[in-house]
Structure 1
Amino acid sequence: MGQVTLIATAAMGIEAVVAKEVQDLGYDCTVENGKVTFVADEKAICRANLWLRTADRIKLKIGEFKATTFDELFEKTKALNWGQFIPENAEFPVIGKSVKSTLYSVSDCQSIVKKAVVENLKRHYRKEGWFEESGPLCRIEVAILKDIVTLTIDTSGVGLHKRGYRAGQGEAPLKETLAATLIKLTNWTPDKPFIDPFCGSGTIPIEAAMIGQNIAPGFNRDFASENWEWIGKSNWDQARQEVEDLANYDQPLDIQGFDIDHRMINIATENAEEAGFADLITFKQMQVSDFTTNKQYGVIVGNPPYGERLGEKKEVEQMYKAMGRAFASLDTWSIYMLTSHPDFEKLFGKPATKKRKLFNGFIRTDYYQYWGKRPPRTK
């Protein structure tokens, strides 16, 4: 097969974090809004799906061209090399989106792309009549932005944030990909204590444990492209073997999660067991104002309530103040908080060293970063 072009999709604002992960896997990449593109061999499809913690999906790019008429969309789609990637018995539904483009009717674009792909495959497989579509899933996406059409096939299946360890969740669960991003944006290393004072269903502590022991986020799940013959079972086997070889199960970790709600502590504990970290993460019911520690040089990462709902704002503001008091003496600790509350710094009682704009779902938030003192250099 040789080289393929892959797109790792990313939530707004974290493209650089995804790009760093792609580079760490050994691939050069380019960064645009919402996507990181790289050219690699087919084994990269397996590795990227297994290893990328902060990307949403890995898509295989089939082609890109300008189209302002349905004829143009049909002919240019039909001219691409679909038969190289889509087996004769594949199921190939088409999804779509169109932004600021002449061809704005998504349903029309989807059916035209579907027809064009069918025509192409008929020619490729020298076949008349219907395709049964009973085999592996090759979900095609037609994405049109300012009249530029990008055609991809999704290699992931279920979104990459679905790691396979979530037995239960609370009302507003943090996406696993965002949790991993929050940790990646800190200075935490696995030899330091790590605390999430608002742990909810345990996503941030579990993602920290996976990062700490270098466990691939996709180790416990399946991907759509595992059934694609042209990638080959041996590539998947090798990629999964690499995941096994690079995991550092002996790395000791000091990770704790606290939450005011005892039901969330039970859910978090179950999720940690499901992920295989039952003995590594300690969960405890506690409110943030009661937090004390005599440990040094730790990292605190939290996604506290934002007070977006009516009647919660006052409570949340009091809690931010209490948190500021509880953390005031932790001068060797680094503290990172994600919230949409515009007055967080004032309530917490201290301006952040740095803040970064991030989206939690559709909520625009800031990630407030307070860097602690560095440990003294050992001779």
Structure 2
Amino acid sequence: MEKMEWIAPCHFGLESVLKREIQDLGYEIVQVEDGRVTFAGGMDAVCRGNIFLRTAERILLKVGSFRAETFEELFERTKEIPWEEYIPQDGKFWVAKAASVKSRLFSPSDIQSIMKKAMVERLKTRYRIQWFPETGSSYPVRVFLMKDVVTVGLDTTGTSLHKRGYRPVAGKAPIAENLAAALIMLTPWKRDRILIDPFCGSGTFPIEAAMMAANIAPGMNRSFTAESWTNLIPKKSWYEAVNEAQDMIDDNIEADIQGYDADGEVLRAARRNAEEAGVSHLIHFQQREVKDLSHPKKYGFIITNPPYGERLEEKETLPRIYKEFGDAFRKLDSWSAYMITSYDDAERYFGKKSDKNRKIYNGMIRTYFYQFSGPKPPRQKK
């Protein structure tokens, strides 16, 4: 099977997690850059990547990369790409998104317009037609300019991969599913260890952890743009990937995963979301204030997304919330805690300096993933 290059964008700061995931699927890493990982694989890679990768935002088929400092260069080099090898005569095609960093060409709308014209010109000469019906499958294009180097990809995913399909109801400040999964993967948590989220909101951390514990592939219950690209990807490849995902599910496990929140309404949403994800039997949700956080067992994990205070009225309550969280955590003397927040005084009011912190961009918000490591449990005697 011919190898292609595939680009998987992700949250800035989490490239290493995505790289490891791709390698675990058996694909070769070509390049790791800020916010994206490029890998090589056959057409099975797009199906398995979309279905199995927990931390990617989407999968792009890389169709070209070139240097362009003027719009004329952008037009001509885009026109050189063999678009007819990807887009059929009735295909619907457009430049869905353009992003530019440290490049002479920086207007997204102009980049999109000029590239679309170049694609039309190329396909007009190849198909010997003047007008395209665009009644067939969709072939959205995404382009990224970095220091005048243009990277062009066809978007195989459509709606971002963080939309697993289980969360029609979201809390006040939901964390994206792929970001939650990546943060869990940055910790040593495994399915035989306790996990609690004391600010669980709509349940994303507990649900993602439960899906990992049961080996449920995140994309197995949703659809993708490239499923209709029968000119490129055989339907059989999609069926095989879904069957592989089905075979891997291990639903008969025991897990101690808990989600607490002070708001009963969002907990109802969390329970519905867990049911949609097929993991409600693995999670215990409870209405509980953070000051009442406790557990009788040792060596557990707290992984959470406490309030940031992005809204002005919330800012006044943050010192109390973080102090109560820190006081409760100190009573769990053998536990580890991991929290993502943009609140500058998080450590101060939590009352403890983190062992590590990692800068991560949650959308446009700069956040830190604070890590408070507890002791490792003693080894089990054989």
SS at match of 2:59: strand
Task: Provide the rounded CA distance (Å) in 1 between the counterparts of 2:107 and 2:357.
Answer: 39
Structure 1 gaps of 5+ residues are none
Q: Which residue of 2 aligns with 1:21?
A: 21
Q: Which residue of 2 aligns with 1:239?
A: 241
Q: Which residue of 2 aligns with 1:183?
A: 184
Task: Provide the rounded CA distance (Å) in 2 between the counterparts of 1:123 and 1:336.
Answer: 57
Structure 2 gaps of 5+ residues are none
Query: Kindly tell me: are residues 102 and 325 of structure 1, through their superposed partners in 2, closer, same or farther at Cα, counting changes over 3 Å?
Result: closer
Task: Provide the rounded CA distance (Å) in 1 between the counterparts of 2:148 and 2:275.
Answer: 48
Query: Kindly tell me: are residues 291 and 97 of structure 1, through their superposed partners in 2, closer, same or farther at Cα, counting changes over 3 Å?
Result: closer
Q: Which residue of 2 aligns with 1:290?
A: 292
SS at match of 1:221: coil
Q: Which residue of 2 aligns with 1:319?
A: 321
Q: Which residue of 2 aligns with 1:33?
A: 34
Q: Which sits farther off after the overlay, 14-23 or 356-365?
A: 356-365
In 1, are the aligned partners of 2:11 and 2:362 still within 8 Å (CA)? no
User: C-alpha displacement at 1:322, in angstroms?
Assistant: 1.3
Q: Which residue of 2 aligns with 1:74?
A: 75
Task: Provide the rounded CA distance (Å) in 2 between the counterparts of 1:98 and 1:301.
Answer: 34
Q: Which sits farther off after the overlay, 311-320 or 84-93?
A: 311-320
Task: Provide the rounded CA distance (Å) in 2 between the counterparts of 1:283 and 1:240.
Answer: 30
Q: Which residue of 2 aligns with 1:377?
A: 379
SS at match of 1:335: strand
Q: Which residue of 2 aligns with 1:10?
A: 10
Q: Which residue of 1 aligns with 2:161?
A: 160
Q: Which residue of 1 aligns with 2:148?
A: 147
**AA of the residue aligned to 2:238:** W
Task: Provide the rounded CA distance (Å) in 2 between the counterparts of 1:135 and 1:165.
Answer: 29
Q: Of residues 254, 270, 273 in structure 2, which corresponds to 1:271? A: 273
User: C-alpha displacement at 1:252, in angstroms?
Assistant: 1.7
Number of positions where the alignment pairs a residue of Structure 1 with one of Structure 2:
378
Q: RMSD over aligned Cα, in angstroms?
A: 1.4
SS at match of 2:5: strand
SS at match of 1:108: helix
In 2, are the aligned partners of 1:210 and 1:216 still within 8 Å (CA)? yes
Q: Which sits farther off after the overlay, 350-359 or 150-159?
A: 350-359
Q: Which sits farther off after the overlay, 347-356 or 68-77?
A: 68-77
**AA of the residue aligned to 1:340:** S
**AA of the residue aligned to 1:33:** D
Task: Return the TM-score normalized by structure 1.
Answer: 0.96
Task: Provide the rounded CA distance (Å) in 1 between the counterparts of 2:43 and 2:196.
Answer: 39
- Does 1:259 pair with 2:261? yes
User: C-alpha displacement at 1:115, in angstroms?
Assistant: 2.0
Task: Return the TM-score normalized by structure 2.
Answer: 0.95
- Does 1:129 pair with 2:163? no
Q: Which sits farther off after the overlay, 85-94 or 191-200?
A: 85-94
**AA of the residue aligned to 2:155:** D
**AA of the residue aligned to 1:146:** K
Q: Which residue of 2 aligns with 1:339?
A: 341
SS at match of 1:87: coil
User: C-alpha displacement at 1:111, in angstroms?
Assistant: 2.2
User: C-alpha displacement at 1:310, in angstroms?
Assistant: 2.4
Note the alpha carbon deviations across 1:274-294, whole angstroms, 9 max, x for none.
Answer: 111222211111001012211
SS at match of 1:151: strand
- Does 1:211 pair with 2:173? no
**AA of the residue aligned to 1:103:** L
**AA of the residue aligned to 2:131:** W
User: C-alpha displacement at 1:25, in angstroms?
Assistant: 0.8
Task: Provide the rounded CA distance (Å) in 2 between the counterparts of 1:241 and 1:170.
Answer: 33
User: C-alpha displacement at 1:350, in angstroms?
Assistant: 1.5
Q: Which residue of 2 aligns with 1:120?
A: 122
Aligned-pair identity (%): 51
Task: Provide the rounded CA distance (Å) in 1 between the counterparts of 2:150 and 2:141.
Answer: 13
**AA of the residue aligned to 1:115:** K
**AA of the residue aligned to 2:5:** T
SS at match of 1:6: strand
In 1, are the aligned partners of 2:303 and 2:338 still within 8 Å (CA)? yes
In 2, are the aligned partners of 1:196 and 1:300 still within 8 Å (CA)? yes
In 1, are the aligned partners of 2:172 and 2:201 still within 8 Å (CA)? no
In 2, are the aligned partners of 1:113 and 1:142 still within 8 Å (CA)? no
In 2, are the aligned partners of 1:75 and 1:116 still within 8 Å (CA)? yes
Q: Of residues 334, 349, 352 in structure 2, which corresponds to 1:350? A: 352
Note the alpha carbon deviations across 1:3-30, whole angstroms, 9 max, x for none.
Answer: 1111000111111111111111111212
Q: Which sits farther off after the overlay, 162-171 or 98-107?
A: 98-107
